[in-house]
A and B are shown apart, each in its own frame.
Chain A
């Protein structure tokens, strides 16, 4: 009903059913979009917070949460999580305020979810600025239930917050293009500066701005405005460099840049094509694309496309690929989908095809999109019954439980050998015990600078410097060879399984079985 009401804003009074309640909507044209936005925000918040703690933090999440705790000086984390790693620290700094008083693992997820909900609002504003409030409200609804955005903003990742600031920047850029007021350009630069301070990859989005103004026939930007934007953005970006310099960690960032640029690809070129459209929603992608076909594109579409194309091209070419890297595209897809729905709503051709029921067709299209999104998003927010998943797309099964067990049961000062650095991070975060990943390469060119390799595992085990070995199914499926090697050490050093965490796994026939996810072995020198 809301969907139909949303589309009928401004429609002739005779078209609506004779419900007295709907008269209000007809008399106040802003009410229906606002209602749609409210629903989007409520549903968006629900989907991002529902059972948010059902799975423990994954490796990346523990790093960001650990950094936040270290910034706050929380002694339980400072030994394991150095403050400076690869990225700027705006998100972690905000989260660190919480860690001044407490250390719940879910605080970071709630903050990330808050940024996710704020992005729904920012997307509404983008749609409203570029087109009208109806497009904004539909875009907000689409983004609220978009699995891609939901799954990323349910995790402690920088991308959710970065995309909020970037979308805010897009909003101000849209305002600048619509009203030609320089202060919007400066506000855009400020928002982009915050996006950069959240995650440095946001700088790629400037490529979209550049591409837009280069290719646009109707839009131009004055040089003094560009200079002003550059000053504002550079001034904000300076905070990243300044914090590093004042902290005496100036070289830390360099190591990561070098490593990221020259590390081996972690996915094939088809990675994004296989994962991102499905997560955005194939119906949404199709609807958004359909609205662009066979029509002359205005500057609004040009801006949206330029905003999306540049990160798509950049991250496709970059050897390191991450599921969440293309998140800035999500609000664009939502706005374009909203635009397409409104095109159908107004289209005379569609009206003639459907014998005067074009508005109903548009409503059906919107309902189809939202239904498809809702069906796809529900498994994302429900506790997973799978032991395998894409890195960055969810929590680590049984990781929190295993780490907590380690913290409660193994002596302080224990040192553990895990299969990979992911589980090592989780053990260190929840268990507060030193852990090393077997798969971390001794070659500094082939490893993340944050990770410390075990140079000679045999020697460390023989001398009793490593007292426990942790095997986990998540890492084992990613690297079976290291799994075999780790279990070889367990056998060689008379390992005894002292604890096992299991997860419920749904088999093909629908039956649920419990499968070992994490096993802790005690080894004897």
Chain B
């Protein structure tokens, strides 16, 4: 009996460190100074749609004009890229596999308008693009941290697959290339399983999370945004296993975790109401992202954090870079991706070829976990975006506007003008006073005034 008790105590002592480690992410050993990773997936915009005119990035080439019909040689009536004004009507482009294939046009990337014309749609809107006027915060983030201009969607089409690659490094195949429902990947291992096995805390934050919308589903229920964006909800273990059931939570918990000091090591975030998925307004989503990142930057976690924003697909928008063929499913077109961290390179445009699996790859590298699938094992990860040799940059809240601060009415030569004018005046005045005193000294002193 005494021996059993001793054994039990010894076992408890062995288990305790692991328990403590799971409660405090900062105690978990990492290969980099990054102790907290927050990744956010927004919806349906191409790189050129958001950053096509960003200086220093591989943006929209000069002279681009997309034909309206690929079957004719003439470029008459072709559509050139144009800036989407804030008053423009919202555009919601079809972005199914057929459209993607036509736009891709065997790597010629010239069917972005024609793909819609052949369907009887206008398609001109596909050539629209935003810039710093509509996306001030994202452009400011890019100027302060890292913008990826070779970040591709993991698959040619299908948002559901994008989220699966994001969390599992792979996605099950489907007959027509697009998963129609959320059933069929219940047993797929995810990065959350890997983290849980090591006792590393992780959460999946969902904006407007509805716990009743969970479980493998088909039909219209399966198409709900929440089930598409949160593959974990279609995996029964994340509902039934006590160790995993608390993984998916509402986004409001993210702010509580920041405030209460309970932010996990890895945080996945998706937006539903504040999605930028067209025809939703980009400024709504941008504002939600700003709120999230600002809260992180203001928190004590920022010094050891990294934040990655990317998009679940190109959304039908024009992009000029033909995606590399890495396997039967991908890559898809480029999507915007931004990385912010005190250790991120500053104002850096990263040309490393990446896809969504760079996220699980970075987690695996940072927390020494085994790869989930071939894609993530082969991914370059996010290492190129960091500079761990340099000291971390001071916490900084990125501005929401790109308007220059009120200009100083003084011009660039103000200092010179001031020194010249006031300096000359001072020399002249002092010289005059000294002259008066010196001349006085040369004259005989005569004092007639005395106290009355």
Contact = CB atoms under 8 A, between A and B. Distances in A.
A239 interface: yes
A82 B423 contact: no
Interface string A232-269: 10011001101100111101100000000000000000
Interface stretch (A24-32, A207-215, A410-418): A410-418
Interface stretch (B12-20, B355-363, B411-419): B411-419
B406 A452 contact: yes
B294 interface: yes
Contacts of B298: 410-411, 414, 467, 522
Nearest to B258: A524
A186 B436 contact: yes
A232 to B, nearest CB: 7
Contacts of A178: 447-449
30 contacts: A82-B408, A84-B408, A90-B426, A93-B418, A96-B415, A130-B449, A181-B436, A186-B432, A186-B436, A187-B432, A193-B425, A197-B425, A243-B418, A243-B420, A243-B421, A246-B417, A247-B410, A247-B411, A247-B413, A249-B409, A252-B409, A300-B449, A301-B452, A411-B298, A411-B302, A412-B397, A413-B398, A452-B406, A463-B287, A464-B291
A243 B417 contact: yes
A313 interface: no
Given A186-B432, A239-B425, A464-B290, A79 B405 contact: yes
Nearest to A130: B449
A82 B418 CA distance: 13
Nearest to A241: B421
B429 A194 contact: yes
Counting chain A CB atoms within 10 Å of each CB, which of B394, B410, B440 scores highest? B410
Contact of A295 (B432, B436, B452): B452
Nearest to A100: B415
B439 interface: yes
B439 A183 contact: yes
Contacts of A343: 451
B450 interface: yes
Interface in A75-89: 78-79, 82-84, 88-89
B409 A300 contact: no
A339 B408 contact: no
B451 A412 contact: no
Interface of A: 70-73, 78-79, 82-84, 88-90, 93, 96, 130-132, 135, 168, 172, 175, 178-179, 181, 183-184, 186-187, 190-191, 193-194, 197, 232, 235-236, 239-240, 242-243, 246-249, 251-252, 295-298, 300-301, 339, 342-343, 346, 410-415, 452, 463-465, 467, 496, 522, 524-525
A247 B433 contact: no
Interface of B: 255, 259, 287, 290-291, 294-295, 297-298, 302, 394-400, 405-406, 408-411, 413-415, 417-426, 428-430, 432-433, 435-437, 439-440, 446-452
A346 B452 CA distance: 11
Contacts of B448: 178
B451 A248 contact: no
Which 9 residue pairs of A and B lie closest in terms of their CB atoms, listed nearest first? A411-B395, A246-B417, A187-B436, A413-B397, A412-B396, A247-B414, A249-B409, A190-B429, A239-B425
Given A89-B422, A464-B291, A172 B408 contact: no
Given A135-B451, A190-B432, A243-B418, A248 B409 contact: yes
Contacts of A252: 409
Nearest to A191: B433
Nearest to B394: A412
A512 to B, nearest CB: 34
Contacts of B418: 71, 83, 89, 93, 243, 247
A248 B405 contact: no
Given A84-B409, A465-B400, A193 B451 contact: no
A93 B419 contact: yes
Contacts of A187: 432-433, 435-437
Contacts of A249: 409-411, 414
Nearest to B436: A187
Contacts of A193: 425, 429
Contact of A411 (B255, B297, B414): B297
Given A82-B410, A414-B298, 19 more contacts: A72-B415, A84-B409, A84-B414, A88-B422, A130-B449, A178-B447, A186-B436, A190-B429, A242-B417, A247-B410, A248-B411, A251-B409, A295-B452, A297-B452, A298-B452, A412-B395, A463-B287, A463-B400, A465-B400
Given A412-B394, A414-B397, A183 B435 contact: yes
A467 B397 contact: yes
Nearest to A81: B408
Contacts of B429: 190-191, 193-194, 236
Contacts of B413: 246-247
Nearest to A240: B421
Nearest to A494: B259
A300 B448 CA distance: 12
A407 B222 CA distance: 50
Nearest to A79: B405
A73 B425 contact: no
B451 A236 contact: no
A233 to B, nearest CB: 10
A130 B451 CA distance: 8
Contacts of B414: 71, 83-84, 243, 246-249
Nearest to A171: B433
Contacts of A236: 425, 428-429
A444 B449 CA distance: 54
Contact of B450 (A131, A168, A179, A186): A131
A150 to B, nearest CB: 26
A251 B410 CA distance: 10
Contact of A194 (B259, B396, B426, B449): B426
A79 B407 CA distance: 9
Contacts of B410: 82-84, 247-249
A222 B48 CA distance: 79
Contacts of B259: 496
A161 to B, nearest CB: 12
A402 B426 CA distance: 38
Contacts of A463: 287, 400
A300 B435 CA distance: 24
A296 B452 contact: yes
B422 A93 contact: yes
A329 to B, nearest CB: 21
B41 to A, nearest CB: 21
A80 B395 CA distance: 19
Contact of B421 (A70, A186, A246, A339): A246
Given A83-B414, A183-B439, A412-B394, A132 B450 contact: yes
B305 to A, nearest CB: 12
Contacts of B428: 190, 235-236
A431 to B, nearest CB: 13
A243 B294 contact: no
A232 B295 CA distance: 60
Contacts of B447: 178
Contacts of A243: 414, 417-418, 420-422
Contacts of A72: 415
Residue from A194, A342, A413, A467 with most neighbouring chain B CB atoms (10 Å): A413
Contacts of B435: 183, 187
Contacts of A413: 396-399
A181 B420 CA distance: 31
Nearest to B419: A93
B148 to A, nearest CB: 23
